[in-house]
């Protein structure tokens, strides 16, 4: 038996990276999954891989009419919604506050924040009526500390997601519906290359290169993987976390826990040596 047997989940942005691995894991754990994305071919390929317990709906998570369609089709097929993973995301404008383009800012906020609001808005009535359900919103360690994203806009958007999740949790918890967020650290996906201007298809293929780059940026000496986030999400949408509501779980190998020990000690030794020469 899986920990998600017979549950029905919706996952956005599931055609690559974290969303794709989460869809795979949730099906492995026994759930039926409706997943969305804007890339038709990649979505159909994943649906074929996952088999009869999944269905792909091409949809844009920033559009309310697409959310209405996704929820309606999910209810028509399965009669209930037990879980939502608001995962759809992407890069935001980089550079100085003095040069951020307004249209780029608005697009990023729509993709990173409006999509989360719309997802919660449209699954909440069903979950409230059921008096059960779990919503997980994908955040970032960039929501916790400045300088942990290539984009200050991305950081601000993820901070909004973190707070919006808590606000919704306080309301929906009264209906036995839980809302939490997960904040990934340096996960080996194509999102950083995308933010730096690499074409989408090529950026996804650079995940292995990102694994090499991010292997030493936190105390645990390996890169974060989509699997790490998928496991956390699967637990949060399961009944095993039934008393967990309104929190953000950081999954970053200790990156924002403090200064890394060995470089810190090396710096102290260098400082100590400089004192001896005075």
pLDDT (tens digit, 9 = 90+) per residue, 46-92? 999 999 999 999 999 999 999 999 999 999 999 999 999 999 999 99
Query: Residue 198, exposed/middle/buried by CB under 10 A (0-12, 13-18, 19+)?
Result: middle
Query: Residue 80, exposed/middle/buried by CB under 10 A (0-12, 13-18, 19+)?
Result: middle
Output phi, psi for 76, to 5 deg.
-65, -35
Q: How many domains is the chain built from?
A: 1
Question: Is pLDDT of 203 > 90?
Answer: no
Q: Is residue 241 part of a domain?
A: yes
Q: Which domain holds residue 180?
A: 8-276
Q: Is residue 210 part of a domain?
A: yes
The fraction of the chain above a pLDDT of 70, given in percent, is 93
Averaged pLDDT, 273-278: 80
Q: Is residue 2 part of a domain?
A: no
Question: Is pLDDT of 247 > 90?
Answer: yes
Write down the H helix ranges in 198-277: 200-205, 207-213, 226-237, 261-276
Q: Is residue 1 part of a domain?
A: no
Q: Is residue 193 part of a domain?
A: yes
Q: Is residue 246 part of a domain?
A: yes
Active site residues: 154
Q: Is residue 36 part of a domain?
A: yes
Binned at pLDDT 50, 70 and 90, residue 130 comes out as very high
Averaged pLDDT, 167-178: 98
- Look-up: residue for tokens 């994943």? 46
Question: Is pLDDT of 200 > 70?
Answer: no
**Per-residue confidence (pLDDT) for residue 188, from 0 to 100:** 78
Helix (H) or strand (E) holding 248: strand 248-251
CATH of the domain at 177: 3.40.50.720
Q: Is residue 223 part of a domain?
A: yes
pLDDT averaged over the chain? Answer: 93
Question: Is pLDDT of 191 > 70?
Answer: no
């Amino acid at each position: 038996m899986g920990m998600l047997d017979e549950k029905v989940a919706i996952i956005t942005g599931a055609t690559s990276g974290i969303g794709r691995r989460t869809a795979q894991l949730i099906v492995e754990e026994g759930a039926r999954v409706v997943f969305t994305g804007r890339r038709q071919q990649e979505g159909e390929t994943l649906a074929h891989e996952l088999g009869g317990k999944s269905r792909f709906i091409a949809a844009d998570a920033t559009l309310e009419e697409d959310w209405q369609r996704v929820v309606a089709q999910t209810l028509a097929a399965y009669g209930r919604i037990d879980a939502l993973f608001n995962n759809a995301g992407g890069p935001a404008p980089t550079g100085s506050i003095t040069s951020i383009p307004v249209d780029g800012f608005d697009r990023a906020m729509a993709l990173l924040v409006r999509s989360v609001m719309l997802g919660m808005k449209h699954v909440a009535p069903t979950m409230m009526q059921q008096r059960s359900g779990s919503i997980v919103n994908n955040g970032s360690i960039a929501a916790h500390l400045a300088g942990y994203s290539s984009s200050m806009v991305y950081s601000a958007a993820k901070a909004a997601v973190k707070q919006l999740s808590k606000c919704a949790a306080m309301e929906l918890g009264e209906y036995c519906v839980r809302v939490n967020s997960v904040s990934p650290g340096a996960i080996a996906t194509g999102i950083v290359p995308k933010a730096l201007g690499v074409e989408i298809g090529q950026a996804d293929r650079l995940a292995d290169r990102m694994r090499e780059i991010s292997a030493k940026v936190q105390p645990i000496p390996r890169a974060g993987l989509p699997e790490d986030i998928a496991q956390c999400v699967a637990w949060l949408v399961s009944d095993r976390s039934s008393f967990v509501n309104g929190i953000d779980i950081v999954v970053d190998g200790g990156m924002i826990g403090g200064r890394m020990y060995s470089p810190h000690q090396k710096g102290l030794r260098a400082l100590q040596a400089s004192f001896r020469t005075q």
